[in-house]
Amino acid sequence: KAGVTQTPRYLIKTRGQQVTLSCSPISGHRSVSWYQQTPGQGLQFLFEYFSETQRNKGNFPGRFSGRQFSNSRSEMNVSTLELGDSALYLCASSLGGIGTEAFFGQGTRLTVV
């Protein structure tokens, strides 16, 4: 069974640009969650999608958005990038959603310069 796949693995963007990250969940998993990991703030929950609907959302500004497609693949978009958006972005898929065993991808390392 293939694991969670995130693309790209590494990304360098300039302040003010926008970026789209992709996540392919484990087959059969309908829940996809996104997290931001930084040395200062640790792991923080961005949002969760379940069956193409955003079901839960963390405390991030509207510049962070996402969507989920009918095949459960998910994308996360960050607009008007700031230096502070540099982080490891992780996505996780699960059968039951928040609070059930989650399977994480290897992450996308975003650097904003």
Partner 1 sequence: SQQGEEDPQALSIQEGENATMNCSYKTSINNLQWYRQNSGRGLVHLILIRSNEREKHSGRLRVTLDTSKKSSSLLITASRAADTASYFCATDELFGGAQKLVFGQGTRLTINP
For binding to partner 1 (CB under 8 A), which residues are involved? Answer: 4, 33, 35, 37, 41-45, 48, 55-58, 88, 90, 92, 97-107, 109
Shortest distance in whole angstroms from residue 86 CB to partner 1: 13
DSSP state of 25: P
Shortest distance in whole angstroms from residue 88 CB to partner 1: 6
Strand order in the sheet with 64-68: 5-7, 19-24, 74-78, 64-68
Q: Which is nearer to partner 1, 53 or 70 (CB)?
A: 53
- Do residues 93 and 26 lie in contact, with contact meaning Cβ atoms separated by under 8 Å? yes
Q: Which is nearer to partner 1, 11 or 16 (CB)?
A: 11
How many CB atoms neighbour CB 60 within 10 A? 16
Shortest distance in whole angstroms from residue 20 CB to partner 1: 19
How many CB atoms neighbour CB 62 within 10 A? 6
Shortest distance in whole angstroms from residue 78 CB to partner 1: 19
